[in-house]
Amino acid sequence: MDNMKTTNLTRRRFLKALGGAAATSGVRPVVAASSAGKRWRRNVVFVCLDTTRADHLGCYGYSRGASPNLDRLAQRSVVFDDVLSPSSWTLPVLASVMTGLYPHEHGAIYFRTPIRDGVVRLPEILRQGGLSTAAIGQFPFHFDFYKFQVGFDLFAQKWSQTASKTTAQALRYLSERAGREEGFFLWVHYFEPHVPYEWQFDSAGFYEKGYRGKTLKVFDANLILKLEAEGTPRADAELKRIIDLYDGEIHCADKYLGWVLDELGRRKLVDETMVIVMADHGEHFGEHGIVEHGNSLYEEAVRVPLVIHAPGCRPGRCGSPVSLVDVFATILDFLGLPARETSGCSLMPALAGEAPPERTLFTTLDTVTSVIFVPDGRDPSKIQTQDKVIHDLKAVRRGRKKLILDARSGKYALYDLAVDPGERRDLLVDGKPPGDLRGALDEWITAMQRYRPTVAAPDASVIEAMRSLGYIQ
């Protein structure tokens, strides 16, 4: 990594600013002696609010009050304003966060491709570094097949689990870890803002009274298909209702986030814990003629919130473009563990008020849907799967310029996000992209082509879950 040296120097300065605590790179466990001789440890709480658009959060300018607890955390944290997700749906993005790699590098690209063997996961490194590791929540790709569980001492993820049960488990875990000498890494995953958007009792204030339309309490995949067939939601009242339900779900997830944050305070863990709150991707509400996510690389789908609090950090905002692949290196850096060769870089300098280095960032969407069938209609042992590529999109970011390639048609589109954040005006008049951006994208695509995903056959329980999530027919 080009910036490794700078990052390490900055981290030392950062640690000095925290009060003279010594770095502990490579030493087990992650417990350091401060200048006063008092032993202290480090923990990381990583919360993913699935499908949460940055522009629906108060700390990103939304005025509906959907996220009071995150907003409070943001006031004492660094809020990253321009965060690019490496894809626009859950599986490849969370695999990127856990590996620091782009989707083709780690291999979890679509529902039949688990994380590739030999790819090192964050929890593995952290466990080797002496931390206890736990994953609790509603992450939908929790099956052994996808191999997210590798490196976790406790892996309690299931997408059908309620947010309240998730929170109760997380609070129990925090109370158990509070008195221990070794640090911990806790991943909490809330699925509420993902479809179906359900009516939440505690979010009643978000729903317009007197609404009389089709979207009474739930906006689900079937309605999405119907709206797509009709040409996306056109009726303002219908769209407003859909967004009301979505905001209500964010409000619900934020309530439980608040309970987790309160528990950190109650257990006196704040001064030794990095807290990271992010979303894996956003959501479309008819922009560009699209609903939901996993079907574009527009900003509605790939611009995500990222809020990081670390003890001693300088609260503020970071406007430089960064990526979710940076989370991996940031966590290692905070913990004082040796940096690894990844596609990301540590954001610790940004927590001390320094701008991250200017870089070229990428995002990709390789959606494959699969039809599962029995050829003769009788013998289930002869089950076959037919894959069909739905999307093959690649995009590159440099500064505020964004070039998107639809590899299936070979068409490019160029946007200047500084003046056109909604990507309404394609700047290419003759279809020919600027040489530097095209060159960077070509080079990246070529580099990614040397990785081949491991295509495997998931068992019936995985297939059923993926079917209910709409990933297969």
Binding span for Zn ion by CB under 5 A among 47-55, 207-215, 354-362, 411-419: 47-55
Residues 6+ apart with CB under 8 A from 3: 345, 346, 357
What does the alpha-carbon distance between residue 198 and residue 178 come to, in Å, rounded to a whole number? Answer: 34
User: Which residue's CB is nearer to Zn ion, number 11 or number 284?
Assistant: 284
Q: Can residue 367 be called a binding residue for Zn ion (CB under 5 A)?
A: no
Residue reference for tokens 């958007």 = 197
Q: Which residues of 409-447 are buried (b: 16+ CB within 10 A; e: fewer)?
A: eeebbbbebeeeeebeeeeeeeeebeeebbebbeebbee
User: Which residue's CB is nearer to Zn ion, number 280 or number 292?
Assistant: 280
Member of 192, 249, 272, 280 binding Zn ion (CB under 5 A): 280
Q: Can residue 90 be called a binding residue for Zn ion (CB under 5 A)?
A: yes
Member of 50, 192, 354, 366 binding Zn ion (CB under 5 A): 50
Largest CA distance in the chain: 75
User: Which residue's CB is nearer to Zn ion, number 280 or number 423?
Assistant: 280
CB of 249 to Zn ion, least distance (A): 13
CB of 96 to Zn ion, least distance (A): 12
Nearest to 54 by CA among 277, 257, 227, 204: 277
What does the alpha-carbon distance between residue 358 and residue 120 come to, in Å, rounded to a whole number? Answer: 26
CB of 434 to Zn ion, least distance (A): 32
- Give the residue nearest to Zn ion (CB): 90
CB of 236 to Zn ion, least distance (A): 27
User: Which residue's CB is nearer to Zn ion, number 223 or number 279?
Assistant: 279
Residue reference for tokens 């966590």 = 331
CB of 93 to Zn ion, least distance (A): 7
Residue 384 C-beta-side C-alpha neighbours within 13 Å? 7
Residue reference for tokens 């769209």 = 239
CB of 439 to Zn ion, least distance (A): 32
What does the alpha-carbon distance between residue 138 and residue 471 come to, in Å, rounded to a whole number? Answer: 17
3-class SS of residue 306 = strand
CB of 138 to Zn ion, least distance (A): 10
Q: How many residues bind Zn ion (CB under 5 A)?
A: 3
Q: Can residue 87 be called a binding residue for Zn ion (CB under 5 A)?
A: no
Any idea what the Cα angle at residue 124 is, between residues 118 and 127, rounded to 5°? 160
User: Which residue's CB is nearer to Zn ion, number 141 or number 184?
Assistant: 141
Question: What are the φ and ψ backbone dihedral angles of 203, each rounded to 5 degrees?
Answer: -110, 20
What does the alpha-carbon distance between residue 290 and residue 313 come to, in Å, rounded to a whole number? Answer: 39
User: Which residue's CB is nearer to Zn ion, number 24 or number 90?
Assistant: 90
Beta bridge partner(s), residue 389: 368
What does the alpha-carbon distance between residue 364 and residue 224 come to, in Å, rounded to a whole number? Answer: 23
Residue 223: enclosing H or E segment and its boundaries? helix 221-230
Binding span for Zn ion by CB under 5 A among 201-209, 225-233, 234-242, 277-285: 277-285
CB of 270 to Zn ion, least distance (A): 28
CB of 463 to Zn ion, least distance (A): 19
Binding span for Zn ion by CB under 5 A among 50-58, 283-291, 311-319, 397-405: 50-58
Instruction: Locate all alpha helices (DSSP H) within 100-188, ordered by sequence.
Output: 103-106, 122-128, 163-177
User: Which residue's CB is nearer to Zn ion, number 393 or number 437?
Assistant: 393
User: Which residue's CB is nearer to Zn ion, number 7 or number 51?
Assistant: 51
Binding span for Zn ion by CB under 5 A among 44-52, 111-119, 308-316, 358-366: 44-52
Residue reference for tokens 């390789």 = 366
**Per the structure block, which two tokens stand in for 312?**
């001693």
Nearest to 45 by CA among 151, 137, 108, 144: 137
CB of 194 to Zn ion, least distance (A): 6
User: Which residue's CB is nearer to Zn ion, number 138 or number 330?
Assistant: 138
Note the residues at the interface with Zn ion (CB under 5 A): 50, 90, 280
